[in-house]
Amino acid sequence: MTGPDGRVVLSWWFIRWAVRRAGGLPLRMTPNKPRSGKKLDGVIISGGDDIAPDLYGGIRHGTAVSMDSARDAFEMKMLKHALASNLPVLGICRGAQLINVVLGGNLHQDLRQMRHITSNRRSLLPCKTVAIRPQSRLSKIQNLRRNRVNSLHHQSVAKRGQNLKISAIDSDGIVQAIERPADSWLLGVQWHPEYLPYKRTQRALFSALVAACRD
């Protein structure tokens, strides 16, 4: 699992537990601790700071937003390695957005004005309903057509990256999940499944990733 330098963030402990519960061995990687000597079977790009808009043709606004250029560079390198090596990849929130950027897509930089039915309120608890595309990888993993998820983001996928398909949207039509329907296992979700460990459908995402790593 990739993440920022410095203190261990809360999401790491939740993802670590989810991966272990699914039968995997979690390893934390950061820009200063890339663990380059380790053999990886899969990659999780976790949530966090905004991606620098320069990387996808966005605009740097005057308002202060939290960004981490070292993490951007490190995780883009990790993603490109994973894609070239056909490693399974799960992107969570920022991770889903980064997958899209690396594959040539761009982002909505601020969703607040786009929400008319859904709320801009941030919550770790399931507060938003998403519709899942039938026959998508996500649908097969969760065995659902609709799901309740949490929401901690203010950006999302806009123009899709190369060969990516939208596999879930919310009631405002905002992209909530992307995937690549090819031989490689690549899935990005805009919500945080690690914070919903009591939901079997969210644990299933980590189980599917670990199963893909075994394969």
- Per DSSP, the three-state class of 179 is strand
CB 96 within 8 A of CB 195: no
Q: Is 154 a catalytic residue?
A: no
Which position among 75, 153, 192, 213 bears the catalytic label?
Answer: 192
Longest dimension (CA), the chain: 48
Tokens of 97: 């957005």
Tokens of 109: 């930089």
Q: Count CB neighbours of 146 within 10 A.
A: 10
CB 77 within 8 A of CB 36: no
Q: Is 192 a catalytic residue?
A: yes
Which position among 75, 93, 153, 213 bears the catalytic label?
Answer: 93
- Per DSSP, the three-state class of 113 is helix
Which position among 153, 179, 194, 213 bears the catalytic label?
Answer: 194
Beta bridge partners of 147: 130
- Quote the strand ranges of the chain, DSSP E: 43-45, 89-92, 107-108, 123-132, 146-151, 156-157, 165-170, 175-179, 186-189
What residues are labeled active site? 93, 192, 194
